[in-house]
Amino acid sequence: MIQRIAVLTSGGDAPGMNAAIRSVVRCAVEKGWTTFGVRNGFQGLINGIFEPLGTREVGGILQRGGTILGSARCEEFKTVEGRELAIRNLNQKGVDALVVIGGNGSQAGASELYKMGFPTVGIASTIDNDLVGSDITIGVDTALNIALEAIDRLKVTASSHQRAFIVEVMGRNCGYIALMSGLAGGAEAITLPEVETDPELLAEELRKAYEQGKAHAIIVAAEGAEFNAERLTEYFAENRDRLGFSIRRTTLGHVQRGGAPGAYDRILASKLGKGAIDAIERGEFGVLVGQNGNNIITTPYEAIAGKIKTLDPETIELARILD
């Protein structure tokens, strides 16, 4: 019988994490369970920093960005001894199951706890949208809209000065944000970790756009692409006379994470939070809760371990045609 659960957030913060915490807590309260929040991710498990969370404690956090529980890197948790200490602290608190909200690294940590015998359930949350087991993850929609707003603004100033802007967005191993924000923002080019970029061809396309009278050019670059914003800027600096446009670089960085979650992320997080509680009630552990189509699903940890979700080839081709 489940009586007590704990919830933590781990890895990079994503808009909607607080909405997920709220949903987990309130759905647990509905079932008569006691809920603890773990401070600062897996580090909090090792340090034994647990605090009771009830309906009142999670009131007013639905619209807040970031995570009220905090997040931190924890090298000690990567060791067997560290994880044994985490489980010992969970057991001392009488916790029956743990909910981990986060991306690939966080779910890998949750999987290790599950392998050592502790019941865990994951909730898919990362702005990179690279987590297998969910069509879209918490934080993606808000991060995309923040990137898109920046692209739209930069396009205005680029047109005023006949410039080309290279806009770098997050995406170390997955170019989802770059692809979708570039497509939605009408970028002239997009560079992705998944697709090889020919900078010479890109320079020729910029020159053609300039000669055809375009007042601006926008290139969206994923931070993990071979030709990210820094490398493209260096390459174009050596070919400045050929481009026509003057080049400016803007790196959006962590501003993409910091926004208040939009409606979609608040709703998605609420659904996934309830899905985690439902999985615990069924006794289904060692799984990630995500969304497939309109359905909330669970995927075993072993099916997502070491995998990165691939981009849709048709969307990549569409972006190429429309640029």
Residues with catalytic annotation? Answer: 128
H-state helical runs in 162-312: 176-184, 199-211, 229-237, 240-243, 263-282, 301-304
Distance CA 71, CA 38 (A): 10
H-state helical runs in 103-139: 104-115
Residues 217, 206 contacting (CB under 8 angstroms):
yes
In single-letter form, the type of residue at position 170 comes to: M
Q: Exposed, middle or buried, 239 (CB in 10 Å: 0-12/13-18/19+)?
A: middle
Distance CA 301, CA 299 (A): 6
Q: Going by C-beta distance under 8 Å and a sequence separation of 6 or more, which residues neighbour residue 60?
A: none
Q: Which residues pair with 96 in a beta bridge?
A: none
Q: DSSP 3-state helix, strand, coil percentages of the chain (rounded to 5)?
A: 45, 20, 35
Q: Is 308 left (phi over 0), alpha (psi -120 to 50) or beta?
A: beta
Residues in the chain: 323
Distance CA 116, CA 104 (A): 19
Distance CA 38, CA 29 (A): 17
What are the two backbone dihedrals, phi and then psi, of residue 240, each rounded to the nearest 5 degrees? Answer: -60, -40
